[in-house]
Amino acid sequence: MLDRDILITEVALRDGSHAIRHQYTVDQVTKVAKGLDEANVPYIEVSHGDGLGGSSLQYGISLTDEMKLIEAAVSSVKKAKIAILLLPGIGTMTELKEAAQLGVKMARIATHVTEADVSYQHIALAKKLGLETVGFLMMSHMAPTAKLVEQAKLMESYGADTVYVVDSAGALLPHQVSEKIRALKNELNVNIGFHGHNNLSLAMANTLAAIEQGATRIDGSVRCLGAGAGNTQTEVLVSVLDKLGISTGVDIYKMMDIAEELVAPILEKPQEITKDSLILGYAGVYSSFLLHAQRAAERFGVDSRDILLELGKRSVVGGQEDMIMDVAAEIAK
């Protein structure tokens, strides 16, 4: 068994689903999962971008049934564990059971940072099914640290093995990440994780700050294939950690090859910090709103940045994609 200081979860096959409008094919997932397994990535998350059951008119209909994608991922790995994401209110326990039957080994149960109590049944079921279980506190920038700690403790009490600070909007600054991770590390007994987005070009800095404060579970997306400007870029992250003498067990060369040969062709265009993804981080808006806001802007002839800024002002939370059309129509009036 390899000794790892940090356990990486590769999220491109889930978070990246947003960036490609949920159009993953079985072939793409098979190849990427196989490559990641060979590169010794310990966890690979596969689901609709909005988690199990996310395929919808609200968020985008999946090209391929996510259970087929999960099945493909499970059958193409030898060592890596396949993880799923589930947002109570969108996905249900029925889908969680189905995923567990397909051979998923880790369940990540996500709620808005102040709403952890809706995850009780799902965390308890995941544990009962024998899955490693993660509580995923999204939009962590929207609550003060004391609130975050209180909610993380709820997830811990439900049985979560790990609790994540999730910077869904890519809005956190390094000193804020440090403060939040430090507080969780002090107050909780379970593993602490961090999931970043690169909308303010801070995903790497935030990840390093999280690790410095004791986070041991870290998310990355290869080639930045995630919502908004993507996540902490996995192949870069494992290289940086290697230089810092922090072991992830991931093969750097192989990760680079996956990024270049398998993932770059999946992207419709290279991931960069565009004006819209920058505004997501600046205004604190859920990263998956990006493409929806661009489509609404085009339809109503308004500036997508105005839509996103307004959504930020209204404290819209993850999952409220319907507000985008509504706000765009209002601005156009």
Q: Does 316 bind other proteins (CB under 8 A)?
A: yes
- How many residues make contact with other proteins (CB under 8 A)? 28
Distance (Å) of CA 69 to CA 7, 32, 82, 102, 323: 23, 11, 11, 10, 29
| DSSP result, 224-291 | G-SSTT-SSBHHHHHHHHHHTT------HHHHHHIIIIIITTTSSS-----HHHHHHHHHT--TTHHH
The 267-306 contact track toward other proteins, x by CB under 8 A, reads ----------------------------------------
Q: Does 63 bind other proteins (CB under 8 A)?
A: no
Q: Report the half-sphere exposure of 303 (CA within 13 A, side-chain side).
A: 7
Residue 32 CB, nearest distance to other proteins (Å)? 28
Q: Does 109 bind other proteins (CB under 8 A)?
A: no
Q: Which of 2, 65, 118, 261 binds other proteins (CB under 8 A)?
A: 118
Residue among 58 and 216 whose Cβ is closer to other proteins: 58
Cα gap 172→202, rounded to integer Å: 8
Q: Does 159 bind other proteins (CB under 8 A)?
A: no
- Both tokens of residue 123? 């965390």
Residue 167 CB, nearest distance to other proteins (Å)? 17
- Distance of alpha carbon 10 from the chain centroid: 9
Which residues are CB-contacts of 123 (< 8 A; sequence separation ≥ 6)? 107, 109, 133, 135, 155, 158, 159, 160
Q: Does 2 bind other proteins (CB under 8 A)?
A: no
- Both tokens of residue 195? 């999931």
Residue among 172 and 258 whose Cβ is closer to other proteins: 172
Select from 66-74, 90-98, 190-198, 281-289 the region that touches other proteins (CB under 8 A).
90-98
| 84-85-89-91 Cα dihedral, nearest 10 degrees | -20
Q: Which of 193, 228, 230, 319 binds other proteins (CB under 8 A)?
A: 319
Cα gap 109→223, rounded to integer Å: 25
In degrees and rounded to multiples of 5, residue 155 shows phi and psi of -60, -40
Q: Does 150 bind other proteins (CB under 8 A)?
A: no
Cα gap 9→145, rounded to integer Å: 24
Q: Does 325 bind other proteins (CB under 8 A)?
A: yes
Select from 2-10, 248-256, 259-267, 315-323 the region that touches other proteins (CB under 8 A).
315-323
Residue 53 CB, nearest distance to other proteins (Å)? 8
Select from 164-172, 192-200, 221-229, 317-325 the region that touches other proteins (CB under 8 A).
317-325
Residue 313 CB, nearest distance to other proteins (Å)? 10
Amino acid at 51: G
Residue among 55 and 221 whose Cβ is closer to other proteins: 55
Select from 117-125, 191-199, 242-250, 259-267 the region that touches other proteins (CB under 8 A).
117-125
In which residue are the tokens 């994780």 written? Answer: 193
User: What positions carry a catalytic annotation?
Assistant: 18
Residues binding other proteins (CB under 8 A)? 56-58, 88-90, 92-94, 112, 114-115, 117-118, 120-121, 142, 314-317, 319-320, 322, 325-326, 329-330
